[in-house]
Amino acid sequence: MTASPTATPTVDLDPMVLFADPYPLYAQLRRDTPVAYVPAMGRLLVTRYEDVVTVSRDWETFSAREDTPGPEHKIIGETLMSFDGEEDHLRLRRMMDAPLKPRALREHWEPVFRANAAALLDDLAGRGEADLFADFATPLAAMNLASFLGFEGVSAQQLIDWCKGIIDAGGGYMLDDAGIWERGFAARDGVIAATDAAADRVRGNPDPSMISSIINSPEPMTPQQLYSNIMITIGGGLNEPRDVLLTAAYGLLTNPDQLAAVRAEPSLWKKTFEEACRWVSPIGMFIRQVARPVELGGVRLQPGDKITGVVASANRDERVYADPDVFDIHRKGPSHVAFGGGGPHFCIGAWAARASIGTIALPALFDRLPNLRLDPEREVPWGGFVFRGPLAMPVRWDA
Ligand code: HEM
């Protein structure tokens, strides 16, 4: 261990090891160096629950505004995620989150989410085997997202391709791939065209979609802000519901006693969803920049220091959760921080994910596919640390 310019502990982490399984490394960081500088990332990782919550909530010290924009800026531009405060951040956020509040979900979107899940399961039911990743969780998340965005006539596959194009280029993880920017810009152009079409349809003729809420608000966004914020919603709104659905299904399929309990007591579906978010957080981290001198986890931080709040680690903090590596839908303890630590950037899609996956898709999946089980002849591969979940999930059921 050496000293960084800000005299914080420095830790070398191998991204490939993190991709395979970040949790043992996070446990080590929480124990020995809970605020540590990682040269490969150029950032300080904050790994304990209490500190992650502090970074999330104290937005005047830990700003969402970074002085050097990340690679996503080239594709997506500036979104609500990189603003602070009432005027800049909240103004944009209010236009976007109105259609995703619990009442709007109940009134408009839950019936649509239910119909989307039923249509996919009806198609699958006679087959007896499938990859839940490709055949159910991914198209379902895309269909739900297209619905509440207000994209009509955009297929699930189209939205999946755009999401991948934006994330591969904007995420900055695959910069050696020659076609990556080309596909990223093509995805951006596709999203802009679909957003323009939706905006033309709902201008002066409101419907319950997010694009309608933005376009028809008294002080609407500029066209560039609209495109950027729709792109970040696509980048953040498709893979995460997919991953939490698969993680929850895996947790139940590998713990038959918990599956029996949830079948007997349907109110446990909600707890199953929350426990899956905690156990393997679909988004592993959020970023901030230090705006004024502060001490965190015993480490002195200076303005300009780049911080990563590792929610995946906070959600396994042994100071907060007993047996944190175990999937347990009966677990007690404080709320997980998979949607953020309760600060102003708390996920705007949290209620939509809870409704579409926890309330609707998970019970429908286990209801419609009798004796659902993991395929005993094939593995479930997992991967990722910025985003994490099963990469495939071969299953069988009695058709
Ligand atoms: C299980 C599913 C999901 C998880 C675990 C998740 C997680 C997160 C996390 C960790 C953040 C960052 C919080 C922060 O910076 O403090 C976030 C923000 C955000 N999420 Fe989600 N998300 C999920 C689903 C969705 C969905 C379905 C949407 C689509 C509307 C969405 C849209 C967003 C947006 C736009 C932000 C930025 C909010 C802001 O900056 O004010 N997310 N999400």
Which of 62, 339, 354, 356 maximizes ligand 1 atoms within 8 Å of its Cβ, making it the mutation to test the pocket?
A: 339
Contacting residues for 205 by C-beta, under 8 A, at least 6 apart: none
Instruction: Please give the single-letter amino acid code of residue 239.
Output: N
237 within ligand 1 shell (Cβ under 6 A): yes
Q: Give the pLDDT of residue 5.
A: 43
Question: In 176-335, which ranges are continuous DSSP H helix?
Answer: 180-202, 210-215, 223-237, 239-253, 256-264, 268-279, 311-314
The Å distance, Cα 345 to ligand 1 centre, comes to 8
Q: Give the pLDDT of residue 2.
A: 40
Q: Give the pLDDT of residue 7.
A: 64
Handedness of CA 146, 134, 121, 141 (dihedral sign): negative
> What is the position in ligand 1's atom list of the atom closest to the CA of 287?
15
Asked if residues 241 and 141 have their Cβ atoms less than 8 Å apart, the reply is yes
The Å distance, Cα 387 to ligand 1 centre, comes to 12
Angle separating helix axes 138-149 and 223-237, nearest 10 degrees:
150
Which domains does the chain carry?
15-396 (1.10.630.10)
The Å distance, Cα 233 to ligand 1 centre, comes to 8
Contacting residues for 194 by C-beta, under 8 A, at least 6 apart: 151, 154
Q: Give the pLDDT of residue 3.
A: 40
Asked if residues 238 and 352 have their Cβ atoms less than 8 Å apart, the reply is no
Total count of residues recorded for the chain:
399
Question: Which tokens belong to 309?
Answer: 């709040």
Count each helix (H run) and each strand (E run) in the chain, helices first. 19, 12
Q: Give the pLDDT of residue 1.
A: 41
Contacting residues for 252 by C-beta, under 8 A, at least 6 apart: 258, 259, 262, 272, 366
338 within ligand 1 shell (Cβ under 6 A): yes
**Which residue ranges of the chain lie beneath pLDDT 70?**
1-7, 71, 172-178
